[in-house]
Amino acid sequence: MRRPARSRHHAEHHWLHPEDRRGLVAVRRLPGFSVLDARSARATATMAEVFREKSAPLDRQHPAVEALEEARLALGHDRRPELRLLDAPYINAHAIDDSWPLIVLTRGMLEVAGPIGALPVVLGHELAHIIAGHARGRSQLAMLSDLGGLGWLVAGITGGASLTLRRRLLAWIRHGELSADRAGALAGGLEASLTLMKAVDARVDETGPQHAFADAFETHPTLVERQRALSAWHRRDGAAADAWRELSDLEAAPAEEDLDALAAAELAEFDEDDWDD
């Protein structure tokens, strides 16, 4: 496979869900966001430090390291995040947008994704969270939700502004999961993506609720919603995406108006739940 075009414009406008793009713009315009953004940056740095203390770096020959490279190339992203392993049985991967981005895989995730060849899907998904800003958004949401829902006091934001920010952040992050699913499919393929979703769901059914899914019903669309949205996008845009991965010239990227038309058509045909309410 030839090296894909290194164009962040091309990559982001290709796999970002339209509501993800609109959600970020809406959140940034809300009163109190600049204060929350500044204070959550310090909290993110602390979180990254804790994860680095509890995790270990992966050997350069580890399959996950190669999978990260596949994901970076598929998404046209130049910066290589630090990749570490957390020795925990639950199934999860953490993306932390620190001064130097960090991705942490749990042992449980490796045990599920490795045997089915879905590590590029996992790494593409997490890398998308860093590129699109979802990782920072999660830190902001966590700060507002902390201390039994009184985190807005620590953030220095009034209660009313905090409720609005939390609502809009949550809506943005939920649509961000659809964007990250698209990026994972770009990195590892649609079949591997859908297989991974089913494998993770089956593992949770076997073991019962796990720490990794404590907030899943709040921050993630349901499995059925994610499968439907990813399959719909791939039918409309994925075939072209597979071809774009082989290209080495920027001129081959589609015009932005074409991408907007695809997004509008997707929204018109597939009526996703109104997560903004």
Give the pLDDT of residue 207: 54
Contact yes or no for 160/168 (Cβ under 8 A): no
Binned at pLDDT 50, 70 and 90, residue 166 comes out as: confident
Contact yes or no for 244/9 (Cβ under 8 A): no
Amino acid (one-letter) located at 266: E
Give the pLDDT of residue 97: 86
Give per-residue pLDDT as tens, 249-258.
Answer: 333 334 444 4
Sequence ranges of the domains in the chain: 8-265
Query: Range with the lowest mean pLDDT among 131-140, 224-233, 262-271?
Result: 262-271
Give per-residue pLDDT as tens, 23-81.
Answer: 888 888 887 788 778 877 887 888 899 999 999 999 999 999 999 999 999 999 988 99
Give the pLDDT of residue 161: 67
Residue 265: is its pLDDT beyond 60?
A: no
Give the pLDDT of residue 228: 92
Which CA distances in Å does 240 have to 131, 229, 252?
A: 21, 17, 11
Which CA distances in Å does 53 have to 41, 84, 86, 139?
A: 19, 10, 10, 19
From edge to edge, which strands make up the β-sheet containing 56-57?
56-57, 82-86, 102-106, 93-96
| 138-155 mean pLDDT | 62
User: How many beta carbons lie within 10 A of that of residue 193, not counting itself?
Assistant: 28
Burial track 96-131 (b if 16+ CB lie within 10 A, e otherwise)? bbbeebbbbbbebbbebbbeebbbbbbbbbbbbbbb
Give per-residue pLDDT as tens, 84-125.
Answer: 999 999 999 999 987 889 999 999 999 999 999 999 999 999
Give the pLDDT of residue 129: 93
Helix axes 223-233, 256-269, angle to 10 degrees: 140
> What is the value of pTM for the model shown?
0.77
